[in-house]
């Protein structure tokens, strides 16, 4: 199903697409290719807005696809093939989520729409957001086998960066129960995480999670240790950090009351846990999403990886297709 989702302030119309398979239904808008809702057995577990004007007003990237480069680049610059690439500085002197005019705030084109899948496409001209290369990107949402799979594809005519993610905030108690979000239990098998400096840029250290509030190797409520006296938590106001993936399962989150469980698998080398420390939005059906009303699990290359050559890199050669797959399975 496809219908209007309202008009942007500049008069452009946004569309809303519905896909379904068995017990799962998803709604996606072509504005930012954003996941508006994800309903499992009748329970909507994703934060979102009722219409496009809500997305225009919100600054939290609710459900949006982020690119070309997710997360932060320190100093809003990096080197590629001996050339300094300058990016827009939209968070102090750093670049967050590719800048103020990122794909999260643009209209994508519908490429394909079936009962259980939707593919949206966008073209990025050479120099957009400061990045080299004319690029063509698609994002496919597909529901099957009790899960949502998101497949990202990109190709460029110049060496460039591809590091796309989805910024959905999950609450397995339901999007209308924001006060319960920190009671979700989380397991992240990673043994190391990236401490950040006061500007949210990784210091370069890959610190062991053992003995710290960042040890999620066994299930625990997300809110249990979030207020501990620990510098990385103080600097970011809670969890907003990258974990280094050691296996395909990047995270498992569950509702301890109902047993609803979401398993996140990915081919990306990291996952950013963001506990919604600065959420301040009005969402669907007038629900107020205040601080820590949802949890983002962003599969990605590490923040500022472009300035850490010793880490896995998001660089892609001209003419080579980049593909990444993340799956959210529900049991």
Per-residue confidence (pLDDT) for residue 247, from 0 to 100: 77
Q: Which residues of the chain have pLDDT under 50?
A: none
Decide if 308 is catalytic: no
Per-residue confidence (pLDDT) for residue 151, from 0 to 100: 98
**CATH architecture for residues 2-330:** Distorted Sandwich (2.70)
Per-residue confidence (pLDDT) for residue 93, from 0 to 100: 95
CA of 204: how far to CAs of 127, 305, 310, in Å? 28, 9, 10
Decide if 167 is catalytic: yes
CA of 202: how far to CAs of 189, 236, 296, in Å? 20, 11, 18
CA-wise closest residue to 184 among 105, 258, 266, 130: 258
Write out the H or E segment, with its range, that includes residue 15: strand 13-21
* Distance in angstroms (rounded) separating the CA atoms of residues 156 and 162: 9
Task: Determine if residue 297 is left, alpha or beta; phi over 0 gives left, psi from -120 to 50 gives alpha, anything else beta.
Answer: beta
* Distance in angstroms (rounded) separating the CA atoms of residues 282 and 289: 6
Domain ranges of the chain: 2-330
The residue annotated as part of the active site, out of 97, 128, 298, 308, is 298
Strand partners, 244: 270
Per-residue confidence (pLDDT) for residue 57, from 0 to 100: 84
Per-residue confidence (pLDDT) for residue 186, from 0 to 100: 98
Per-residue confidence (pLDDT) for residue 309, from 0 to 100: 96
In the numeric block, which tokens belong to residue 15? Answer: 């569309």
Per-residue confidence (pLDDT) for residue 145, from 0 to 100: 87
**Tally of CB atoms within 10 A around 267:** 13
**Tally of CB atoms within 10 A around 213:** 18
DSSP designation for 232: H
In the numeric block, which tokens belong to residue 166? Answer: 């989805």
CA-wise closest residue to 20 among 109, 107, 148: 148
In the numeric block, which tokens belong to residue 28? Answer: 């996606």
Give per-residue pLDDT as tens, 47-86. 999 999 999 888 799 999 999 999 999 999 999 999 999 9
Q: Which residue has the tokens 């990045």?
A: 131
Give per-residue pLDDT as tens, 213-271. 999 999 999 999 999 999 999 999 999 999 998 778 999 999 999 999 999 999 999 99
Write out the H or E segment, with its range, that includes residue 38: strand 35-40
Per-residue confidence (pLDDT) for residue 210, from 0 to 100: 98
CA-wise closest residue to 29 among 69, 64, 66: 64
CA-wise closest residue to 147 among 47, 18, 24, 326: 24
The residue annotated as part of the active site, out of 97, 167, 241, 308, is 167
Per-residue confidence (pLDDT) for residue 58, from 0 to 100: 80
Write out the H or E segment, with its range, that includes residue 251: strand 249-254
* Distance in angstroms (rounded) separating the CA atoms of residues 203 and 257: 38
């Amino acid at each position: 199903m496809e219908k209007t989702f309202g008009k942007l302030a500049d008069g452009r119309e946004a569309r809303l697409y519905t896909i379904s398979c068995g017990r799962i239904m998803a709604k996606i808008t072509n504005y930012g290719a954003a996941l508006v809702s994800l309903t499992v057995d009748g329970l909507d577990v994703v934060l979102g807005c009722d219409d496009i004007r809500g997305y225009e007003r919100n600054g939290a990237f609710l459900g949006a696809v982020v690119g070309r480069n997710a997360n932060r680049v320190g100093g809003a610059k990096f080197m590629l093939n001996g050339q300094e690439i300058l990016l827009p500085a939209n968070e102090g002197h750093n670049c967050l989520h590719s800048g103020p005019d990122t794909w999260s705030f643009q209209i994508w084109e519908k490429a394909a729409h079936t009962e259980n899948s939707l593919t949206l496409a966008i073209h990025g001209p050479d120099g957009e957001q400061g990045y080299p290369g004319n690029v063509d990107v698609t994002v496919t949402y597909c529901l099957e086998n009790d899960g949502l799979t998101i497949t990202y594809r990109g190709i460029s005519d110049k060496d460039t960066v591809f590091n796309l993610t989805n910024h959905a905030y999950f609450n397995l108690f339901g999007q209308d129960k924001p006060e319960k979000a920190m009671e979700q239990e989380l397991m992240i098998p990673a043994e190391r995480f990236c401490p950040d400096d006061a500007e949210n840029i990784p210091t370069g250290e890959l610190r062991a999670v053992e003995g710290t509030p960042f040890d999620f190797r066994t299930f625990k409520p997300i809110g249990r240790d979030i207020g501990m006296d620990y510098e990385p938590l103080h600097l970011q106001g809670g969890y907003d950090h990258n974990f280094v993936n050691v296996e395909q399962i990047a995270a498992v989150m569950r509702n301890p009351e109902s047993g609803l469980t979401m398993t996140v698998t990915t081919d990306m080398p990291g996952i950013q846990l963001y506990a919604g420390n600065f959420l301040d939005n009005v969402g669907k059906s007038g629900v107020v999403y205040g601080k820590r009303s949802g949890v983002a699990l962003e599969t990605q290359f590490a923040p500022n990886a472009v300035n850490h050559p010793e880490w896995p890199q998001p660089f892609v050669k001209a003419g080579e297709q980049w593909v990444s797959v993340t799956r959210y399975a529900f049991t």
